[in-house]
């Protein structure tokens, strides 16, 4: 950028205070620096080109009366802007006009090629100029070819670099923190999805096993999965059917455990209110959630995957053989259209859990107290107690599953 354009840019932006003189040059913030005596492209009506020093002093003092301005400039040893040039120059520098007849295109002469003409003097049809250009090209390329003029070499020979690679990479006055945060979130989401996909792939291989079946090794030995599961028959009399066991939760928001927050509670031992999870998931309702017991008092445990669903009406008849647990809402209508006669049959075949806050009235659970259901209490505020409640659910569930598997 040339000195005149830089001065105009800083004037329009109202950043004249960032133009600082250091020794014999003006520094435009950290963007540009030019010699004070550098000629600008603005030519006075008297015919001379104004220097950068003259224009900077004028624009910083243009509100001063002209007579006082002339006296101050003389005292400072700065050449002044003539009275006829004041208003046209001010209009251009402040952006009121986009161009001026007083502006000329300046091309600084390259000291390496003093005979090379400036751009406004260059004429391709002029044999003298072409000869000078060819000589410049020969010196750059070390080639002597009068029939092939390298005009790009001519242009680059008179270029003056304003920024280098390091100054560009510094990206001053730019903040890329938001880009970093967005990129980090995308990477975390990608890893989370990949982890979920791997887990869902393991679910297809998982089998429901009791703690006595620890002799099985192979695929995922440390996870407790059987690499070669044997087909399991659909047996009557209470045994569990083939496939991943199912846990049912209410679809209503009145209950503490729903399809939205069941994963954090059972896997991490942390209760998160449903409305908070709905906002985090942006209203996306999962059809099915896979959960595994990640923490245990028993290090030699066998890990089993469970499917959590909240739409019993979508279950097929063979799917009901896989249902092992239900979180109850405490309302009779929750069991409408279930393939069982009554609550006695339901809670003989399926273990029931009722989640409540410990300081809630038991009156709200009067129906539940008549059923064979485990009441699990958690605190409204003490989240560190959630883990113990989740462990109680797992212990009761695994004990029930073992009894069903061996019955």
Predicted confidence band of residue 298 (pLDDT cuts 50, 70, 90):
low
Predicted confidence band of residue 148 (pLDDT cuts 50, 70, 90):
low
Predicted confidence band of residue 228 (pLDDT cuts 50, 70, 90):
very low
More confidently predicted of 233 and 276: 276
Domain extent listing, the chain? 3-94, 246-406
- The pLDDT tens digits of the residues spanning 310-366 come to 999 888 888 898 999 999 988 888 888 899 888 888 998 999 999 999 888 777 677
- The pLDDT tens digits of the residues spanning 68-96 come to 999 999 998 999 999 999 999 999 999 99
Predicted confidence band of residue 233 (pLDDT cuts 50, 70, 90):
very low
pLDDT at 45 over 70: yes
More confidently predicted of 208 and 21: 21
Residue 42 DSSP SS3 = strand
- The pLDDT tens digits of the residues spanning 372-401 come to 899 999 998 888 889 999 999 999 999 998
Per-residue model confidence (pLDDT) at position 181: 84
pLDDT at 201 over 80: no
Predicted confidence band of residue 144 (pLDDT cuts 50, 70, 90):
very low
Per-residue model confidence (pLDDT) at position 205: 47
Q: Please report which helix (H) or strand (E) contains residue 373, including its range.
A: strand 373-378
CATH of 246-406, one of 3.40.50.11990, 3.30.465.10, 3.40.1280.30, 3.90.600.10: 3.40.50.11990
pLDDT at 17 over 80: yes
Residue closest to 237 by CA, chosen among 372, 327, 345: 345
Q: Is 79 left (phi over 0), alpha (psi -120 to 50) or beta?
A: beta
Q: Is 282 left (phi over 0), alpha (psi -120 to 50) or beta?
A: left
Q: Please report which helix (H) or strand (E) contains residue 43, including its range.
A: strand 39-43
Mean pLDDT over 223-235 rounds to 40
Could you give the CA distance from residue 3 to residue 18 in angstroms, rounded to a whole number?
14
- The pLDDT tens digits of the residues spanning 48-72 come to 899 999 999 999 999 989 999 999 9
Token pair for residue 216? 């099985």
Q: Does pTM top 0.75 for this prediction? A: no
């Amino acid at each position: 950028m040339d000195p005149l354009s830089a001065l105009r840019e800083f004037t329009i932006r109202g950043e004249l205070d960032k133009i600082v003189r250091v020794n014999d040059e003006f520094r435009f913030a950290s963007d540009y620096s030019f010699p004070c005596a550098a000629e600008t492209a603005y030519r006075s009506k008297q015919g001379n080109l104004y220097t950068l020093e003259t224009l900077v002093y004028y624009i910083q003092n243009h509100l001063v009366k002209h007579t006082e301005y002339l006296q101050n400039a003389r005292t400072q040893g700065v050449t002044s802007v003539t009275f006829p040039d004041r208003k046209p120059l001010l209009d251009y520098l402040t952006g009121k006009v986009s161009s001026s007849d007083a502006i000329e295109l300046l091309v600084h002469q390259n000291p390496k090629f003093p005979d090379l003409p400036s751009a406004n003097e260059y004429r391709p049809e002029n044999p003298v100029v072409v000869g000078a250009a060819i000589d410049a090209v020969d010196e750059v390329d070390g080639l002597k070819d009068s029939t092939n003029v390298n005009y790009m070499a001519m242009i680059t020979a008179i270029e003056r670099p304003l920024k280098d690679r390091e100054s560009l990479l510094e990206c001053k006055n730019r903040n890329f923190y938001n880009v970093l945060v967005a990129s980090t979130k995308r990477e975390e989401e990608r890893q989370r999805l990949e982890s979920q996909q791997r887990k869902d792939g393991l679910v297809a291989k998982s089998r429901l096993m009791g703690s006595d079946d620890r002799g099985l090794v192979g695929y995922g030995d440390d996870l407790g999965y059987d690499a070669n599961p044997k087909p399991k028959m659909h047996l009557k009399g209470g045994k569990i059917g083939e496939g991943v066991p199912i846990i049912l939760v209410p679809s209503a928001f009145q209950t503490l455990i729903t399809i939205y927050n069941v994963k954090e509670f059972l896997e991490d031992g942390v209760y998160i209110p449903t409305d908070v999870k709905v906002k985090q998931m942006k209203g996306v309702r999962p059809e099915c959630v896979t959960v595994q017991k990640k923490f245990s008092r028993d290090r030699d445990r066998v890990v089993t995957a469970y499917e959590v669903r909240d739409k019993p009406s979508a279950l097929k008849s063979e799917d009901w053989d896989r249902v092992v647990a239900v979180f109850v809402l405490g309302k009779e209508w929750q069991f409408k259209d279930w393939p069982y006669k009554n609550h006695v049959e339901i809670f003989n075949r399926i273990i029931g859990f009722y989640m409540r806050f410990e300081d809630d009235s038991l009156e709200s659970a009067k129906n539940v107290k008549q059923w064979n259901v485990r009441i699990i209490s958690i605190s409204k505020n003490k989240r560190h107690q959630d883990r113990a409640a989740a462990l109680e659910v797992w212990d009761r569930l695994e004990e029930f599953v073992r009894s069903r598997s061996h019955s």
